[in-house]
């Protein structure tokens, strides 16, 4: 088991678009989220009609567990100034991950930069979908032929990965000595 990852809405949506949520479990992560993330899904059901159903199915199947916030979490959240750069859902994921010593997963770069100004966490405790996809490739859960279609599908849903994902994953495998 690699540990616990606290996931936010944008990362869940990106997994929905590529139909690869199973990768987190395959990589050994236990996935949790907060009530604030659930509320974001409930409030966005008109904008993303299938997303609430997808989220609910993940919770009902046990793929994601709702993790309770404690008073200390709420107090720490209140020390971060309100901003459009980071939602309460993203912030709650950071606070929970920090408290339990896990990772937080979000694909919102602005939120990461903003929250890290106020919440101090180890550098490797924040991850994004790109890193999970590369990790899945390195552990042979994804093949060469899958990475470019995944990147295109994400771009079609307005999540643009600025690198060539297949090239970067192959380069990392080569650097680790994975090719003979």
In a shared domain, residues 170 and 139 = yes
| pTM of the predicted model as reported, rounded to 2 decimal places | 0.91
Is 81 domain-assigned?
Answer: yes
In a shared domain, residues 62 and 147 = no
In a shared domain, residues 36 and 58 = yes
In a shared domain, residues 74 and 159 = no
Task: Give CA 128 to chain center in angstroms.
Answer: 5
Quote the domain boundaries for residue 69.
3-127
Contacts of 112 (CB under 8 A, 6+ apart): 106, 126
In a shared domain, residues 106 and 138 = no
Is 180 domain-assigned?
Answer: no
In a shared domain, residues 112 and 49 = yes
Is 158 domain-assigned?
Answer: yes
Alpha helices in 21-66 (DSSP H): 22-26, 35-43, 51-60
Sign of the C-alpha dihedral, residues 17, 23, 29, 31?
positive
Q: What is the pLDDT of residues 62-109, one digit of tens each?
A: 999 999 999 999 999 999 999 999 999 999 999 999 999 999 999 999
pLDDT at 177 over 90: no
Are 85 and 30 in contact by the 8 Å Cβ rule? The answer is no
In a shared domain, residues 16 and 65 = yes
């Amino acid at each position: 088991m690699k540990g616990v990852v606290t996931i936010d809405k944008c990362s869940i949506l990106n997994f929905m678009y590529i139909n690869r949520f199973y990768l987190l479990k395959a990589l050994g992560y236990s996935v949790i989220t907060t009530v604030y993330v659930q509320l974001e899904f409930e409030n966005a059901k008109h904008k993303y009609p299938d997303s609430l159903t997808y989220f609910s199915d993940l919770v009902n199947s046990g793929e994601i567990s709702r993790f309770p916030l404690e008073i200390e979490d709420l107090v720490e959240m209140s020390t971060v100034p309100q901003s459009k750069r980071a939602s309460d859902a993203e912030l709650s994921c950071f606070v929970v991950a920090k408290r339990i010593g896990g990772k937080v997963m979000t694909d919102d770069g602005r939120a990461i930069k903003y929250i890290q100004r106020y919440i101090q966490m180890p550098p490797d405790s924040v991850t994004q979908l790109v890193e999970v996809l590369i990790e899945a490739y390195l552990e042979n859960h994804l093949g060469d032929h899958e990475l470019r279609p995944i990147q295109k599908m994400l771009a079609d849903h307005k999540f643009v990965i600025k690198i060539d994902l297949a090239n970067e994953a192959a380069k990392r495998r080569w650097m680790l000595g994975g090719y003979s």
